[in-house]
Structure 1
Amino acid sequence: MAEIVIKDLRKDFGDFTAVQASSFKIEDGEFFMLLGPSGCGKTTTLRMIAGLELPTSGEIWIDGEEVSQKPASARDIAFVFQMFALYPHMNVRKNISYPLVSQGMPRARVREKVAEVARILGIEDILDRPVGGLSGGDRQRVALGRAIVRDPKAFMMDEPLGALDAEFREHMAEELRALHDRMGATTVYVTHDQLEAMQMGDKIVVMNHGVIEQFGTPQDIYDKPATLFVADFIGSPAMNFLKFTGQVEAGAVEVAMHRHRFMIPEMREAFDGDMVFGVRPEHVRLSDAGDFRGEIVASEYLGTTQIVTLKTPGGRLKARIPSDQVARTGETVALGFDPATVTLFDSQSGRALRSDLNEGVLGHG
């Protein structure tokens, strides 16, 4: 397998810039997610790594070789698409073996390789069936098999589970991650589904409008969002945002917001102006004591927890609390926040203000 290094990658389509100044490294054997909304540049980035699109500028290194201007055929990359891209006139066995037959591999070796891949994917019983009558999950396994059988340096996967229904998609995500762990393959995976990215990825790049907003582990991206976009895009419900105007000094451990003072992580930079106080719903405490209060306007029961919506002086806020905690609509309660879970953002630029919590996180600019 292979390490992949991206340096200052850019792609222009006429006057439109799809990807700009992208740099990151994918470690050998890593399951790497390119995450973002439609049109953010994630698929274009994947296609450039695979050689299906050539970059306008920048460098792509695969297994120590600079391949930016080389065609896909010279990169030893396997691609898995959302729509499977199988050959409908061939059965499962022939679909999987096609890349090897095209390379002129001896028939006995082809049979061995196909049998090995079928065993890994659990599709030995359908090898002689036509692909047209298969379920979506089995067709996806066949598409994966055709990619795996080549033993490529890396796998490129463009929303491979997007055509499956929600329940089976979750099951296939677990299977795909387990398959990756068994093979130790370098995998680059495009998705718009933040739950899928958090569930499967070792590292995540979050993109928006062709720009990398943040790069890190799922936990770092969730706990230490580098921008307002990341904080809003990751998490369900998303992070709460309370807007205010104020001033913080370098070294400050509290902030004044809406005539109240709140503890925050120690700030590494001073700031004066419009800010956003960010805290995730599970880090909001409801109690009887305290002077920052909110009115409960709705409650959503989710089994072990409930999502409570409150109206506060800074705007609406959601709290995730135990389902057995009493939360009556119309009641006014005090609100508290663990300072270690708070992130302050510059309202204008959207970037997180540096603190003990987020110091060193990529994407802060």
Structure 2
Amino acid sequence: MAEIVIRNLRKEFGDFTAVQSSSFKIEDGEFFMLLGPSGCGKTTTLRMIAGLELPTSGEIYIDGEEVGQRPARKRDIAFVFQMFALYPHMNVRRNISYPLVSQGMPKQQVAEKVDEVSRILGIGDILDRPVSGLSGGDRQRVALGRAIVRDPKAFMMDEPLGALDAEFREHMAEELRALHDRMNATTVYVTHDQLEAMQMGDKIVVMNHGVIEQFGTPRDIYDKPATMFVADFIGSPSMNFLRFHGQVHAGSNTVVVHHEELEVPRLQEPFEGDLVYGIRPEHISLSDGGTYRGEVIASEYLGTTQIVTLNTGNGELKARIPSDQPVRAGENVGLEFHGAAVTLFDNQTGRALRSELNEGVLSHV
């Protein structure tokens, strides 16, 4: 397997810039996620790493070699597509063995490799079945088998679970991560599903409009969002935003939001202007005595928790609270914010202000 380094990668299609000066490093053996909404540039980035698209500018290093202008066949990369891309006229065995046969590998060695891969994927009992009659999950395993059998330097996966139904997609995500761990493979995986990225990834790049918004571990991405876009895109429900105009001082751990003093992590630099107070639903508690108050609009029961929607007079908030805590529509309740988990943003740029919470996170971008 291999380390992959991306430096100032850019891709233009005529007047449209799909990827803008992206830089990041994928460690050897890492499960790396490219995450973002449709059209953000994540698939284009993956295709450039794989050699299916050549970059307009920038460098791509795989295992220490610069490969940015090399065709895909000279990069030793295996690609797994969303729609499987299997040969319908071949059975499972011939689909998996095809890359090896096309390379002229001896028949006995091909048979041994196919048997090894089928054991890893648990598909030994369907090797002689036509792929046209297989379930979506089995087709995905065959597509993975065809990629694995080559022993490539890295695997590129473009939303490989996107065609599966929700329940089976979650099961296959667990299987895919377990397979990755057994093989210690370098894997680059594109998805628009934040839960999939958080569940499977060692590191995540969040992209938007061709730009990297943040690069870090799933925990950093969730707990320490570098921008309002990341804070809004990650999490269900997403982070709450309270907009206000104010002044904060270096070393201060409070701000005044709509005439109420609220706690924040200690800020490293002073700031005055239009701010956004960001707080996730699970970091809001309902109480009788809170001075910042809201009116309950609705409650959504989710088993162990409930999502309560509140009107504060300065916008709606959502709070995730225990399901056994009684609330009723129209009730006026106090809100307590867990200050240590708050992120303050510059409303003009959308970027997080440096604090004890997000120290070091912005340096990744």
Tell me if both proteins adopt one fold, taking TM over 0.5 as the criterion: yes
Moved more, 325-334 or 145-154: 325-334
* 1:204 has 2:180 as partner: no
Secondary structure of the corresponding residue to residue 362 of structure 2? coil
TM-score by length of 1: 0.99
* 1:282 has 2:282 as partner: yes
**Aligned partner letter, 1:87:** Y
* 1:165 has 2:177 as partner: no
Deviation, structure 1 residue 363: 6.1
**Aligned partner letter, 2:116:** E
Kept in 1, the 8 Å contact 2:205–2:216? The answer is: yes
**Aligned partner letter, 1:303:** G
Check 1:278–1:119 CA distance in 2 against 1; reply closer, same or farther (3 A cut).
Answer: same
Q: Would you identify which runs of 4 or more consecutive aligned residues in structure 1 move more than 6 Å?
A: none
1:73-88 alignment runs, 5 A limit: 73-88=73-88
Deviation, structure 1 residue 313: 3.2
1:242-261 alignment runs, 5 A limit: 242-261=242-261
Deviation, structure 1 residue 125: 0.4
Cα deviations across residues 307-342 of structure 1 (Å, max 9, x unaligned)?
000111321000000000011111111111111100
**Aligned partner letter, 1:41:** G
**Aligned partner letter, 2:104:** G
Q: Distance in 1 between matches of 2:107 and 2:146?
A: 16
Q: Distance in 2 between matches of 1:68 and 1:217?
A: 26
Cα deviations across residues 169-220 of structure 1 (Å, max 9, x unaligned)?
0110000000000000000000000000000000000000000000000000
Aligned residues: 365
* 1:301 corresponds to: 301
1:227-246 alignment runs, 5 A limit: 227-246=227-246
* 1:33 corresponds to: 33
Deviation, structure 1 residue 362: 3.4
1:268-279 alignment runs, 5 A limit: 268-279=268-279
Kept in 2, the 8 Å contact 1:214–1:363? The answer is: no
Q: Distance in 2 between matches of 1:297 and 1:86?
A: 50
Q: Distance in 1 between matches of 2:289 and 2:268?
A: 31
Kept in 1, the 8 Å contact 2:215–2:364? The answer is: no
* 1:11 corresponds to: 11
Q: Distance in 1 between matches of 2:171 and 2:295?
A: 40
Deviation, structure 1 residue 290: 2.1
Moved more, 354-363 or 132-141: 354-363
Deviation, structure 1 residue 121: 0.2
1:1-365 alignment runs, 5 A limit: 1-362=1-362
Q: Distance in 2 between matches of 1:364 and 1:2?
A: 21
Q: Distance in 2 between matches of 1:111 and 1:63?
A: 29
Query: Percent of pairs identical after alignment?
Result: 81
**Aligned partner letter, 2:73:** S
Q: Distance in 2 between matches of 1:158 and 1:149?
A: 18
Q: Distance in 2 between matches of 1:144 and 1:14?
A: 34
Q: Distance in 1 between matches of 2:315 and 2:358?
A: 25
Q: List gaps (5 residues or longer) in structure 2.
A: none
Secondary structure of the corresponding residue to residue 9 of structure 2? strand
TM-score by length of 2: 0.99
Cα deviations across residues 69-99 of structure 1 (Å, max 9, x unaligned)?
0010110000000000000110000000000
- Please, what is the CA RMSD of the aligned residues? 0.8
Kept in 2, the 8 Å contact 1:296–1:310? The answer is: yes
Kept in 2, the 8 Å contact 1:215–1:363? The answer is: no
Kept in 2, the 8 Å contact 1:254–1:263? The answer is: yes
Q: Distance in 2 between matches of 1:362 and 1:248?
A: 20
**Aligned partner letter, 2:224:** K
Q: Distance in 1 between matches of 2:291 and 2:240?
A: 19
Kept in 1, the 8 Å contact 2:51–2:75? The answer is: yes
Q: Distance in 1 between matches of 2:314 and 2:205?
A: 31
Deviation, structure 1 residue 364: 7.6
Q: Distance in 1 between matches of 2:362 and 2:189?
A: 20
